[in-house]
Chain A
Amino acid sequence: MEEFRGYFSDGRTAEMRPALVRLGASALGVRGERGEALAEWPYRDLRLLEEVYAGQPVRLRSRNGGDARLVVRDPGFLDAVSRHSRHLHGNNMQRTRALPRILGWGGATIATLIALYFGLPVLAEPIAAVMPLSWEERMGRSVRGQVLALLGRNSRECAGPEGKAAIEALVNRLAATVETRYRFDVVVVDNGLVNAFAAPGGYIVVFRGLIDKASSAEEVAGVLAHEMGHVIERHGTEALIRQLGMSAIFGAMLGDASGIGSTAADIGSQLAVLSYGRAAEREADAVGVDMLNRADIRGAGLVGFFRRIGKETGDDGKGILRYLGTHPPTGERAADIEARAAGRGDAMSAAEWQALRRICAAGR
């Protein structure tokens, strides 16, 4: 039978007495200097007070032993008692090597980060699909408000009544060609940016610069149909969910739970400058061209518009809301649209088109 010298405290006073520790068959026995029994701790109840490093004393308690403590300084004691209490091995750091543990956990962490980075976007689609309309609409209003706030003074809403009527009629005409739960809401903003964007829930913003640059109402109709395609396919909602998810998860990882709310508030404004990616753009094109076809509006205008804008403005990298930056045009895309566009009619009357071009003139 193995014996070790140690010190024992019964946990009732601060006194620690010299003690003799015996490793019995099923329990560890502690006796005082005069041989009196102090404690009998079953092996399965033994707990180390802390992880034991080389050269450190072994300090034990028993699961049912209250505040009683046993201290043994003999370096061989931990191995001896661990032979009976196998669960103590986990806290034995006497021979543990640091590098394999760091590399193991480090590898696992990197693998998890990679999996999350690619896995989260996949989850965004089903979540967006079950999101109630009212949430989407609130998010959309918030995003629109933030983007316009970003533009500061240059975000006045154009109020020419005939122009408003014309563009709303066009949007309604396009919306009538599909079955959708979204109620589209379009505004023209008095800003020279050649751009348009769709916030979640059907909130579409067209900048005056785009109408100025367009050579026909059909080009505007093409851009509107494309943006409505983004709404119908929930690209904005999904992007918002991805962003929120990412910031929540990475925020939690970095230990900043309180920052999530404030980050969420900034995301809307980021959304406008993000491109949705090639696949999403092509999806929006396809939905948009279908709408144009069913409404019998010439669809080739969109292609021409892309090409002309590309030539005229180039890509000087300036302007955060540049249409080409957020809607990268490719030859493939243009060809697809051209091939599928089948509409023959006009987007609106000539009088309506003139009213739309003057929509921002009123109230200036």
Chain B
Amino acid sequence: MGGDERTQFPSGHQPIVQRRPGDPRQSVPFAPAGSPRMPGAREDDATSPPQSAPGSARPPIETYSGGAPRDRVVEDGRFGELFVLFIINVLLGILTLGIYRFWGKTRIRKYIWSRASFRGERFEYSGTGLELFIGFLFALLIFGPPFFGFYAWIYFDPPPQNPDPTNPVHFQRLMEIYAVAIVLVIVTFYFMHVATFAAYRYRLSRTQWRGIRGSVSGSAWTYGFLGFGLSMLNGISMGWTKPWADTVLLKYRLNQTMIGSAPLVCNIEAGKLYPSFALAWIVTMVATVVAIGGIVSIFVSLTDLRTGRTDPPAMTVLIVLVLLYLLIPVVWLATINFYRAALIRQTAATSRLSGLAFAFPVGGWRLLWFNFSNFFLVLISLGLLLPLVILRYARFVAEYLRVDGDMDYAQVRQSESKGPRYGEGIAEFFGMGVI
């Protein structure tokens, strides 16, 4: 990925809003989908071309030039400052039995958001710790009884030791436990998808830029069913529906996202994602064949064919066995980065926001290194370098995200929705997400 290439935009892109006619979202550039005219909008809104077109009489007012590049997000967070925040969060978390973490999270987010700026204006995180805390209490109220009740049930009324499946009492007891456990697992998977959407909605609604906040319409319950059903489908198809499923979920989120009155439009299609996915899938399959072949041949070589006895493997052989076993997940986690990079590139390239177009020209190797180094940093520091990883994410976006086009700030109105009152409770309950 050359330095020059990064600033290139996908070919054929028009930096202005004049796109395919007939798309109702685009006929009114700055109005939300489904409402041809916002209340209070000026008469000429729907008819006149966007004011932001290059060469128009009134250029958008940039509040701060300061040499800030127009095509990228600038990130100026400092590790030292964030590290102090992080350490104090850990200490206060211990002191308050973990309750402070909601306020701590908010503090970190406010720092990260405010240290990223676009076209001279910093982002703002307007959520509060109390909103996260109340969200968590609601989730605890709803999910606590079944989950903690299950533990209590097993604890106070333990299943039989040495269960005998032919004993009808034992059998019924085991079936009861399995049935409840399976229901809880299904509930967990479903609600993790619900939580993904709800957390996205909450964060968008608490993210402001130039005073304008984001909003997400649509239903988290629907998204939950969609996510749950598609992940089942991915299992049945051995992964081959994953690129398509990912675009479905992504579009459900992005195409219901608005920044103020400006709708985000994403037209990503799965077709271009399949080459990189096929690469990851096939390489992983080869690794699987190698690993299973290796493991089987080692066991055969250790087995005396006449007596059928297997010798215990020597230490070196044992290490080889473990490495072979680890080969499959490691290869999958490595190669999937090439697919992920393609997904990110395509998402950016096919997204439009008002007059803005995007590019995120990251390559597979770069993403692989980014994820591997982050994992390694957290691992060797026992989590202490988590703030560095957070900062690296922000810097990564700043390094790759490119934005082209103009936005007429006067035409982007504030979102009518204030967003959810409380946030991220379910995600917190199921332990999803660090920041």
Contact = CB atoms under 8 A, between A and B. Distances in A.
B375 interface: no
B156 A101 contact: no
B175 interface: no
B124 interface: yes
A261 B110 contact: no
B95 A59 contact: no
Nearest to B151: A261
A264 B158 contact: no
A146 B429 CA distance: 29
A13 B411 contact: yes
Contacts of B101: 255
B255 interface: no
A11 B94 contact: no
A51 B111 contact: yes
A139 interface: yes
Contacts of A258: 147, 429, 431
A9 B88 contact: no
B410 interface: yes
A173 interface: no
Interface string B137-172: 000000000011011101111100110000000000
Contact of A14 (B88, B97, B412): B412
A67 B84 contact: no
A98 interface: yes
B121 interface: yes
A316 to B, nearest CB: 27
B151 A67 contact: no
B59 interface: no
A127 interface: no
Contacts of B84: 98, 101-102
Contacts of A57: 122
B66 to A, nearest CB: 9
Nearest to B428: A257
Contacts of B413: 12-13
B421 interface: no
Interface in B36-92: 61, 63-64, 78, 80-81, 84, 87-88, 91-92
B253 interface: no
Interface string A1-22: 0000001011111111110000
Interface of A: 7, 9-18, 49-51, 53, 56-57, 59, 67-69, 71, 73, 93, 98, 101-102, 105-106, 108-109, 112-113, 138-139, 142, 145-146, 148-149, 153, 155, 249, 252-258, 260-262, 264-265
Interface of B: 61, 63-64, 78, 80-81, 84, 87-88, 91-95, 97-98, 101, 107, 110-111, 113-114, 121-122, 124-126, 147-148, 150-152, 154-158, 161-162, 208-213, 260, 407, 409-414, 429, 431
